[in-house]
Structure 1
Amino acid sequence: MSEALLELRDLSGGYPPVSVFRGVSMSVGEQESVGLFGPNGHGKTTLLKTVAGLIDPWEGDVVFQGRRLNAEGKMRPRISRNFNYDLFQKRRIRAATVVEAGVIYVMQGNLLFPEMTVEEVLGVAPLAAKGRSGVREMRERVHHLFPRLQERRFSKIRYLSGGERQMVSIAVGLLALPKLLILDEPTLGLSPKLRLELMQAVRQIRESRVPLIIVDQNIEFLSGLVDRLLLFDHGAITREIDAASMPSHDEAMAMMFGESH
């Protein structure tokens, strides 16, 4: 495997007092694409939100290009449930620090500004690039990847279809000029036709050598897009599979829950 771009070292976290994931160690290499597969509700999104700086890690480290992005040591316990803990305790990881480093997280659910037009949203997105060069070239690439957005550029986000909003979300992530792009359930709720269209776009992103972490419930979607597949079950990585041994959906579920599943 190539030199590590991102390393998670014994990372644990959740929503106090509930632990969601624990002792997660994984890496993503330069120009590598890694898939994360597992049942809903087992902590994948919470893990990614922690990596993105939206949730504080309880312990462990998020290291990107050799730099630790979080505060060292364990998170201190909350003293009381009756006041806003965040007013009295500094964040252990900041989303702004993560974005400045070049880690861009495209959340599931198409969380965009509904009253802004496509053109307005895409115009704001490069502000997250924090001085990284290549915005004009990436804008041209985005137009090539998602020609439908050019057609809908003056439409408000609220009037787009679910698939079109997902295209905008990924386009926003790309316009931040990521050194690592994280896609959380990009095909959630999409029709088979739109899923195929999005898969082709993600394949082109991968071919452009943007490192990726992709979470999806569809093994067929991940096949051909990732170099390695990590099975995630009950808050922990339970197995790593290389692309040459990519299982079917049923095989992956059997690996996680037994042949009787």
Structure 2
Amino acid sequence: MLAVFEKSIGKPPQELSLPLAGSSGLKNTRQEIAEIFRLWRSDSTFYNFRNGNFLALSHEDQNPVHPRSIVVMDDIFCIFSGALDNTCDLRRYYGLSRQATEAMIIITVYKVLRDRAPYPPDQVIKELEGKFAFILFDSKASVLLLARDRDGSVQFHWGTAADGSLVCSDDPNLISAACGKCYTPFPPGCIFISGTGLICFDHPLHKVRAIAREDDEGNIGAVIFQVDLFTRLPSIPRTGSAANWAGATAVEGE
């Protein structure tokens, strides 16, 4: 699977573009990355959006344990790789039929986040059990959502293209060809949302920090993202009905 989105939609962390030791600087544009994918994956299907942004899916060389699928519902696109262990429970909880696939469940989860606020995204995504990675794009709202399971069981990488666009793929060879050395594994147990950034769904109030690995000469050889349990993010005051309910509960408890 492959996603390429311009900076205005998928603003990548600055650290993804750090100059790495031995980097040749060979990075490709969105159009060139699309051509590479077409050449490497003859069965690929493309979903093109405005300004050259796109999603692409291929079943070639697919791991049977982590199959790939795509669903399009209400102008929301979701590419899912892997499998959920609690699919039956999630179908019941969200009122879905027994035919609902993992990708359909993810879209439903996203719509709950979008339409029935306030729901912290980490509280919803952490309920997903299994081995997975997914890419979701709401084409109407121009919102990109990425996630990977806690154990990093499914290959998933992200990097930057020549124009600074965000590139995501489960194929390390493809993303290496597209981004040169400006890519790294997507951090396990994390979600990335347009306009919000990177969040760990088990530790949502702690910063996910980029760590540059340097050699003895001070050259950066790699960049990885890890949860910094010593840096707590400022909590956001609740508003609306949730805050009112919390206030009422506090009064009752006095």
TM surpasses 0.5: no
Larger helix percent: 1
Larger strand percent: 2
**TM-score, structure 1 normalization:** 0.30
